[in-house]
Chains A and B, each alone.
Chain A
Amino acid sequence: MTGNGTITASPQAPDLRDQEREAQLAAALARCAAGDRTALRVIYDSEAPRMVGIARRILFRQDLAEEAVHDAFIRIWRGAAGFDPRRGSARGWLYAVVRNRALSIHRDEHRYEASDESAGDVDSETTLSRMPEASALRRCLEQIDRPRRDVVVLAYVHGMSHGELAGRLKVPLGTVKSWVRRSLFALQECMG
């Protein structure tokens, strides 16, 4: 969003595109559940790059991120019938599957090491700045003081555990747990 002239006209278009994409993904999941393999490819073409990005923020390595996406697509194929459009968006469901796989690989095989340089690049403020200005989540996160809001972003985006957060922010475990809890409550109050 750099051109001033387009700002007033633009909010509608991406919204409609998102709705369209969402409906296509929901339809594709229904087709997967019916055994249509071309539908899995439709989902892959549409969402795999974002899913690799999501997994990479947790696992830092491209090969591990692709492993998570690989596992996720096998689960999506086998579990497509478990997606219930009344409960939430298709996209949210797909991203939850890949985060789940990435977190599982992270827990089993790839804990943050002191020597892990890439973990140093983690920065919750950069993530926040990438969110659309109109995002209610962004607005509500910005109302929470740092570093209490950092724990939410670091845990969700980078898959950090309570222990990892405590180590990184150099505060006791109990403090981290209470920050997470209170920040999430504040978000719920703020967003409804």
Chain B
Amino acid sequence: MSPHDADNAMAADYVMGLLDGAEQAAAERRIETDQSFAQAVSAWRARLADLDLTAEETPPSPALWQRIADATKIAPIDALPSARAALRGTTLWDNIRFWRGLGIGGAFAAALFAMIMIGALATSRQLRHDMLALAQRKPIYVAVLVNDTTKEAGAIVNAFSNGRVELIPLRPIEVPAGRSLQVWTLWDRAIGPKSIAITGQSRTLQLDLESLPETVQDQLFEITLEPEGGSPIGRPTGPILFKGNAARAL
């Protein structure tokens, strides 16, 4: 972009912080919609970046992180906009935005992963660790476990490419004394449900599917309330609290 271009001048003033309120809002809208303007803004940011590094590092007061943590606590639900709707009573199953969001998040992570790879920065062990963590963040199958009666979403099951399967509770589940929560999966009715986890409280669980076939489309996951230590007969005996089928993440 030529230095004398009006767009270039606007991009420079935007990065400098010299635009007034209305101009600034207009510039922010253009960044979203106008590729070449967005590039001009990035170029100006890169040019002036060394000025940021002259700022003295000033430790924040210890309370600042807690305030940020509190203010962002509900935000994971924002990140999955329709999860909140699910908690209000509708299910996620029909909601394409939820699935699409998961897909876009995954695709973004994958694209970033690829970019970092190409960046030939793989010299550092820490970096390799980060890339691995990133690659493993995209689940292949996702199941949202919903209560049949209330239609509340109670937990999400994520199955990853490396065989790891995790269960993340979305709400606290009250476990009466002397009882346990048991997680089951069913992929073949002829074989019947298999127990994959037993826990005394609702918390994130790494599920044990080692001895089972790989997670497949429509595989059923459910959480039942069982006697402490799990069902004595190896099959669910108590009420089903939440259940859902695995669907391929986009």
Q: In the complex, how many residues of chain A place their beta carbon closer than 8 angstroms to a beta carbon of chain B?
A: 73
Query: Nearest A residue to B18 by beta-carbon distance?
Result: A155
Interface string of B68-91 (1 = CB under 8 A from A): 110110011011100000000000
Contacts of B42 in A (CB 8 A): 87-88, 92
Known: A37-B72, A50-B57, A66-B61. A157 touches B133 (CB 8 A): no
Flag the segment in B118-126, B195-203, B226-234, B235-243 that touches A: B118-126
Beta-carbon nearest neighbor of B76 in chain A: A35
Determine how close the nearest CB of chain A comes to the CB of B57; give it in whole angstroms.
4
- Whether the Cβ atoms of A70 and B16 lie closer than 8 Å is no
Q: Is the CB of B116 within 8 A of A27?
A: yes
Shortest Cβ gap from A161 to chain B (Å): 7
Contacting B49 at CB < 8 Å: which of A44, A89, A185? A89
Q: Is A175 an interface residue (CB 8 A)?
A: no
Give every chain B residue within 8 A of A87 (Cβ-Cβ). Answer: 38-39, 42
Contact A27 B134 (CB under 8 A): yes
Contact of B105 among A20, A34, A136, A189 (CB under 8 A): A34
A31–B115 CB distance below 8 A? no
With A20-B127, A65-B58 in contact, is A153–B68 under 8 Å at CB? no
| Contact present for A74 and B58 (CB under 8 Å) | no
Report the Cα distance A161→B13, complex, angstroms.
Answer: 10
In the assembled complex, B48 has its CB within 8 A of some CB on chain A: yes
Contact A127 B79 (CB under 8 A): no
A191 contacts B by Cβ under 8 Å = yes
| A96 & B116 in contact (Cβ 8 Å cutoff) | no
Q: Among the listed B51, B58, B127, B137, which residue makes an inter-chain contact with A157, where contact means beta carbons less than 8 Å apart?
A: B51
Chain A neighbourhood of B108, CB < 8 A: 30, 33, 81
Evaluate contact between A27 and B131: CB separation under 8 angstroms. yes
Q: Are B116 and A35 in contact (CB under 8 A)?
A: no
Say yes or no for B34: interface residue by CB 8 A criterion. no
A142 at the B interface (CB under 8 A): no
Q: Which residue of B lies closest to A165 (CB)?
A: B18
A159 CA to B57 CA, complexed, in Å: 18
Query: Do residues A156 and B17 form an inter-chain contact, with CB atoms below 8 A?
Result: yes
Contact A24/B130 with A53-B56, A127-B54 known, Cβ cut-off 8 Å: yes
Is the CB–CB distance between B49 and A95 below 8 Å? Answer: yes
0/1 string, A93-137, CB within 8 A of B gives 1: 101100110010001000000000000000000010011100111
Tell me, in angstroms, the Cα distance from A91 to B76 when the chains sit together: 23
Do A48 and B64 touch across chains, with their CB atoms under 8 A apart? yes
- For A184, the chain B residues whose CB sits under 8 A away are 9, 12, 16
List residues of chain A with CB within 8 A of the CB of B115: 85-86
A137 touches B16 (CB 8 A): no
**A81 and B76 alpha carbons, distance in the complex (Å):** 13
In the complex, the answer to whether B79 meets A49 with C-beta atoms within 8 Å is: no
Across the interface, which residues of B come within 8 angstroms of A86, CB to CB?
115
Are B68 and A159 closer than 8 Å at their CB atoms? Answer: no
| 3 closest A-B pairs by CB | A53-B55, A49-B57, A130-B54
Give 5 pairs: A residue, B residue, CB < 8 Å, sorted on A: A27-B133, A48-B65, A73-B72, A131-B51, A184-B12
Interface of B with A (CB < 8 Å)?
3-4, 8-9, 12-13, 15-18, 21, 38-39, 42, 45-61, 64-65, 67-69, 71-72, 75-76, 78-80, 104-106, 108-109, 112-113, 115-116, 119, 121, 123-124, 126-127, 130-131, 133-134, 137
